[in-house]
Structure 1
Amino acid sequence: MSALLENPTARVRWLAAPSSPAWLEQAIARPDLVLIDHAHCERKAAGVALQLMFRYPSDEQLGALLSALAREELEHFEQVLALLQRREVPLRPLAAPAYGSSLMAQVRKGEPQRMLDSFLVAGLIEARSHERMALLAAHSPDPDLRELYGELLASEARHFGLYWVLCEQRFGREVTVERLEQLALAEVEALSGELAQDDLVRMHSVGVTPAADSARQSGRR
């Protein structure tokens, strides 16, 4: 595996607002639903990496890095699937939240903007997954889930770090940061609101703390 994938030097604030206590409470209350959805998310993430590989076939570095990324995402899918099987929970289709489609709608059509936006959207999704897995690793009452999510944290951080490095190499830091700030606001908008039903909780279902509330909470610490 490339050293770039192992050690991305991405020190950047991806998320514009943290996940809310309500999302964590909902996710802890329906752990099997979140686990099933997590399996689907890992499979989709592998598909995104492969899609980008095929979209830009002449970029050899991109192909090598995204091929490795796709393999790792599928390994994570297999880990989640194995836990589902041990728990005798069948992998079944779930209604997806609007999160992913809302973010993809932000991707501009023309190149090279399409490449930049596609990398940043993929990175934002990975960053939100990492943040929520960290919450579950810290707060889930289920030791199997704490172990699983804890094991995946380092690699999830590498994934959004890789997308950052790909952007910065191709577009420069200033352009990348400016566009990331715009897309991060759209990402928060996609997660804003309240869950209509408890059985709709997903890894990327709605539930963020508004920036102003987050700042007030930080000030009280």
Structure 2
Amino acid sequence: MSTTASLPLAAGVAVAAPARVKWLTAPSSDAWLEQALAHPELLLIDHAHCERKAAGVALQLMFRYPSDGELAAVLSPLAREELEHFERVQALLERRGHALRALAAPPYGAALAGQVRRGEPQRMLDSFLVAGLIEARSHERMALLAAHSPDPELAALYGDLLASEARHFGVYWVLAEARFSREATVERLEQLALAEVQALTGVLADPGLVRMHSVGVG
């Protein structure tokens, strides 16, 4: 997984990014893909929740660091785009006769949140990198769904969102590297990437609990 050479962060703001950044240390498994393809409506509902949560993460960081003007300039449009994605997925659910409803969340998000250190500035770095890891995994799994879904409408949806998902995890990398040394950022990302894979390691006992971030790496 890599970022592009230059990432537009907001209107009039562009920051150079490293040519390649390795985010994920293990790919998603065939088992996860099979479960996801067998329950497309569950993935859609969970996807809607993921987009809304991603918008919330961006807003939370803006409120946590209110004196960082560049952070607000970057994350405000990102949050809006996440909400636009939520609205798009919700509209598709409604057209298909599926109501948005609460789903039991996998332990993935909580496991990664537990890796965030409490003291500053480590908390800021970890928050950026955890958000980026989640976006990178979402991107990887959407790419699988875009390539393998037998439903043309769903394949098109996931394919259309790939570019913005890649941009999002790139944004979090740029924010981290702009505030911390590259060495510190890479070292911590490597540590968190291992924890990310650990959070996805295991066997899903009930395939009906498949989620965008349910267990399944290989």
2:17 to 9, 33, 38: 9
1:159 Cα offset (Å): 0.2
2:59 to 28, 50, 69: 50
Taking a change above 3 Å as real, the CA distance of residues 4 and 140 of structure 1, as seen in their structure-2 partners, is: farther
State the match for 1:124 in structure 2: 133
> How far apart, in 2, do the equivalents of 1:199 and 1:70 lie?
30
Q: Percent identity?
A: 76
Higher percent of residues as strand = 2
2:193 to 181, 184, 187: 184
1:98-137 alignment, distance < 5 Å? 98-137=107-146
For the pair 1:70 / 2:79, whether they are aligned, the reply is yes
1:172 Cα offset (Å): 1.8
> How far apart, in 1, do the equivalents of 2:16 and 2:166 lie?
9
State the match for 2:208 in structure 1: 199
> How far apart, in 2, do the equivalents of 1:44 and 1:84 lie?
18
State the match for 2:99 in structure 1: 90
Taking a change above 3 Å as real, the CA distance of residues 193 and 4 of structure 1, as seen in their structure-2 partners, is: farther
CA RMSD across the alignment: 1.1
1:9 Cα offset (Å): 2.4
For the pair 1:21 / 2:30, whether they are aligned, the reply is yes
Match of 2:35, as an amino acid?
Q
CA contact (8 A) 1:8 1:158 kept: no
User: Which 5+ residue runs of structure 1 have no aligned equivalent?
Assistant: 210-221
CA contact (8 A) 1:126 1:159 kept: yes
CA contact (8 A) 1:124 1:187 kept: yes
CA contact (8 A) 1:192 1:208 kept: yes
1:198 Cα offset (Å): 1.1
Question: Tell me, what secondary structure is at the counterpart of 2:214?
Answer: coil
Taking a change above 3 Å as real, the CA distance of residues 176 and 148 of structure 1, as seen in their structure-2 partners, is: same
Deviation per CA, 1:157-213: give whole Å up to 9, x if none. Answer: 00000000000110021110000000000000000000010110000000001xxxx
Match of 1:48, as an amino acid?
V
For the pair 1:170 / 2:164, whether they are aligned, the reply is no
TM-score (norm 1): 0.92
TM-score (norm 2): 0.93
Taking a change above 3 Å as real, the CA distance of residues 18 and 4 of structure 1, as seen in their structure-2 partners, is: farther
